[in-house]
């Protein structure tokens, strides 16, 4: 794609990067076939190619984004299916991240929307506030019927529609808190390794059983696990809202505490059980590439970050009792894992090797609609994607559904009665841990 940035514009490293990405696009449109919003809405401007044109124009003209541009960028899930499909290696992720930052900095959203986004950015990354918010949401749920309900689903939802969606996502009950930050779980037997386990923010409130399963599995196999003190949200939530100041501050904070833990006790890896977080931590090196103090440490931390399945693939997992044999598992491939981190076959291989009957889900490349805060901000598109995902999963008649990302787990569980569990919970069970179930 031909671009027309001035030399002055190209002196900005972000614009130079955008220019490189835009020039790689050859307009072929292959990406449209796998883009969930294009598949649902059929509008070229809701396809990757259409959005790339909109972003190009916005950046080249260097003017505040228009309402039309904002509408179509907001509808993008950042699922990155387009990056898997693109034959030219267009880095859509870095382009749309930049577009979201520009929108956040130069576009004034209506006041109710600004308030909702500010509330999400404040509450979601802070487990204490998030827990309190979930309790309040549960208490408020009976009053949902009093909120005005739109007659039809819309790709431009109202504030009320978004509030309804947020209340609907609150769980009926919250589990007890998991282990505290700063805890160290010694290896059983001879120590073969030492890792940090990302504590996550929403996940530690909604499903502490996931990291507990990871800790049990790892320590049983001789790996010491540390929950690093003063670690915070990885920044993914605010990064996807375009609030880069907040996201980068969180990245720097985490890099500092992980680096000092690595220097003090040694770390073989930083393990992540929420693939949405893993994708962003693996991108810290890029996000901080222009920061003279953090560029090097960020690249080292990104190299240390691993999805839990990547690390487990290097361990000889020991079988436990075999009650799980013949359990049919539908494996839902989270977008952040399959498109963001290119981890596709590995989790399925681990599950099969450890005794589960693993089934691929039809249309597995399509997002379930979770996408961070997307199911709150764009509930009607998100619900359509969830229903489509659940119908595809039902076709393989599973006993359980496995996924590697808490957002997908909550989203899919909202549309099915089949138990939805994390891949690591199944692997823990297969190697002597407890059967996955409610917290
Ligand atoms: S990230 Fe997903 S929703 Fe956005 S343009 Fe690419 S395929 Fe479409
Ligand atoms: S597939 Fe890649 S090169 Fe083709 S239009 Fe989409 S982004 Fe551009």
Determine the Cα–Cα distance for residues 381 and 307; give it in Å rounded to an integer. Answer: 28
Query: Atom 2 (ligand 1): residue with closest C-alpha?
Result: 79
Determine the Cα–Cα distance for residues 192 and 268; give it in Å rounded to an integer. Answer: 10
Angle at CA of residue 131, ends 126 and 136, nearest 5° = 125
Q: pLDDT digit string (tens) for 111-137? A: 999 999 999 999 999 999 999 998 888
CB atoms within 10 A of CB 38: 24
**Distance between Cα 82 and ligand 2 center (Å):** 8
Q: Label residue 255 by pLDDT band (50, 70, 90).
A: very high
CB atoms within 10 A of CB 113: 15
Q: pLDDT digit string (tens) for 6-32? A: 999 999 999 999 999 999 999 999 999
Cβ burial of 293 (10 Å; 0-12, 13-18, 19+) is: exposed
CB under 8 A, 24+ apart: contacts of 146-154: 153/380, 153/383, 153/384, 154/380
CB environment 350-378: b (16+ within 10 A), e (fewer): bbeebbbebbebeeebbbbbbbbbbbbbb
pLDDT over 60 (residue 151): no
Query: Atom 8 (ligand 1): residue with closest C-alpha?
Result: 35
Q: In this structure, are residues 79 and 408 in contact, taking their beta carbons and an 8 Å threshold?
A: no
Q: In this structure, are residues 421 and 332 in contact, taking their beta carbons and an 8 Å threshold?
A: no
Query: Atom 8 (ligand 2): residue with closest C-alpha?
Result: 25
**Distance between Cα 338 and ligand 1 center (Å):** 14
Name the nearest CA neighbour of 351 among 308, 380, 384, 386: 308
For the CA of 81, the nearest ligand = 1
CB of 56 closer than 6 A to ligand 2? no
Determine the Cα–Cα distance for residues 198 and 46; give it in Å rounded to an integer. Answer: 34
CB of 139 closer than 6 A to ligand 2? no
pLDDT over 90 (residue 142): no
**Distance between Cα 332 and ligand 1 center (Å):** 18
Q: Which atom of ligand 2 is nearest to the CA of 49?
A: 5
Residue 355 phi, psi (nearest 5): 100, 0
Most ligand 2 atoms within 8 A of CB, residue of 51, 86, 95 to mutate: 86
pLDDT over 70 (residue 172): yes
Q: pLDDT digit string (tens) for 214-230? A: 999 999 999 999 999 99
DSSP labels for 365-428? TS--S-TTTHHHHSHHHHHHHHHHHHHHHHTT--SEEEES-HHHHHHHHTT-SS-EEEHHHHHH
pLDDT over 80 (residue 323): no
- In order of 84, 108, 352, 365, the CA distances from 349 in angstroms are 20, 47, 5, 18
Residue 75 in 3-state DSSP?
A: coil
CB of 80 closer than 6 A to ligand 1? yes
Mean per-residue pLDDT, 240-244: 96
Task: Name 222's Cβ contacts closer than 8 Å, sequence gap at least 6.
Answer: 187, 188, 189, 190, 191, 192, 193
Name the nearest CA neighbour of 376 among 161, 78, 202: 161
So what's the pLDDT on residue 167? 80
Residue 186 in 3-state DSSP?
A: coil
CB of 264 closer than 6 A to ligand 2? no
Q: Label residue 326 by pLDDT band (50, 70, 90).
A: confident
**Distance between Cα 18 and ligand 2 center (Å):** 14
So what's the pLDDT on residue 138? 82
Q: In this structure, are residues 13 and 290 in contact, taking their beta carbons and an 8 Å threshold?
A: yes
**Distance between Cα 193 and ligand 1 center (Å):** 38
So what's the pLDDT on residue 352? 95
CB of 51 closer than 6 A to ligand 2? no
Q: Label residue 155 by pLDDT band (50, 70, 90).
A: low
Name the nearest CA neighbour of 79 among 51, 102, 43, 53: 51
Determine the Cα–Cα distance for residues 123 and 117; give it in Å rounded to an integer. Answer: 10
Beta strands in 285-353 (DSSP E): 305-307, 328-331
For the CA of 34, the nearest ligand = 1
Q: Label residue 173 by pLDDT band (50, 70, 90).
A: confident
CB of 29 closer than 6 A to ligand 2? yes
CB of 48 closer than 6 A to ligand 2? yes
Determine the Cα–Cα distance for residues 363 and 75; give it in Å rounded to an integer. Answer: 20
Query: Atom 5 (ligand 1): residue with closest C-alpha?
Result: 48
CB of 93 closer than 6 A to ligand 1? no
Determine the Cα–Cα distance for residues 429 and 187; give it in Å rounded to an integer. Answer: 18
């Amino acid at each position: 794609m031909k671009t027309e940035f001035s030399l002055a514009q190209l002196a900005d490293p972000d614009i130079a990067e955008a220019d490189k990405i835009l020039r790689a696009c050859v307009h072929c449109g292959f990406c449209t076939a796998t883009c969930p919003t294009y598949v649902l809405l059929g509008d070229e401007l809701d396809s990757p190619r259409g959005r790339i044109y909109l972003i190009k124009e916005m950046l080249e003209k260097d003017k505040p984004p228009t309402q039309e541009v904002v509408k179509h960028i907001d509808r993008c899930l950042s699922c990155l299916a387009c990056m898997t499909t693109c034959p030219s290696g267009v880095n859509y992720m870095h382009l749309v991240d930049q577009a979201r930052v520009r929108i956040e900095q130069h576009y004034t959203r209506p006041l109710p929307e600004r308030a909702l986004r500010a509330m999400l950015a404040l509450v979601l990354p802070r487990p204490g506030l998030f827990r309190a918010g979930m309790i309040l949401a549960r208490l408020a749920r009976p009053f949902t019927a009093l909120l005005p309900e739109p007659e039809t689903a819309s790709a431009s939802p109202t504030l009320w529609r978004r509030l309804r969606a947020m209340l609907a996502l609150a769980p009926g009950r919250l589990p007890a808190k998991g282990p505290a930050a700063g805890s160290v779980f010694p290896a059983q037997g001879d120590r073969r390794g030492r890792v940090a386990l990302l504590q996550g923010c929403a996940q530690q409130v909604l499903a502490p059983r996931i990291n507990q399963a990871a800790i049990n599995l790892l320590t049983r196999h001789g790996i010491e696990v540390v929950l690093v003190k003063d670690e915070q949200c990885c920044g993914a939530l605010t990064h996807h809202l375009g609030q880069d100041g907040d996201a980068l501050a969180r990245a720097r904070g985490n890099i500092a505490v992980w680096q000092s833990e690595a220097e003090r006790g040694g770390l073989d890896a930083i393990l992540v059980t929420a693939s949405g977080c893993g994708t962003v931590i693996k991108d810290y090196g890029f996000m901080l590439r222009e920061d003279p103090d953090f560029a090097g440490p960020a690249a080292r931390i990104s190299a240390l970050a691993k999805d839990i399945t990547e690390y487990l693939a290097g361990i000889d997992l020991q079988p436990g009792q075999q009650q799980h044999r013949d359990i049919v598992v539908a494996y839902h491939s989270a977008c952040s894992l399959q498109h963001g981190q290119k981890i596709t076959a590995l989790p399925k291989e681990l599950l099969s090797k450890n005794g589960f009957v693993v089934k691929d889900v039809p249309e597995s490349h399509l997002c379930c609609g979770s996408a961070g805060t997307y199911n709150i901000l764009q509930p009607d598109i998100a619900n359509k994607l969830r229903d489509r995902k659940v119908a595809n999963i039902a076709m393989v008649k599973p006993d359980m559904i496995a996924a590697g990302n808490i957002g997908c787990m909550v989203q899919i569980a909202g549309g099915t009665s089949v138990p939805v569990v994390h891949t690591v919970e199944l692997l823990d069970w297969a190697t002597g841990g407890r059967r996955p179930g409610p917290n």
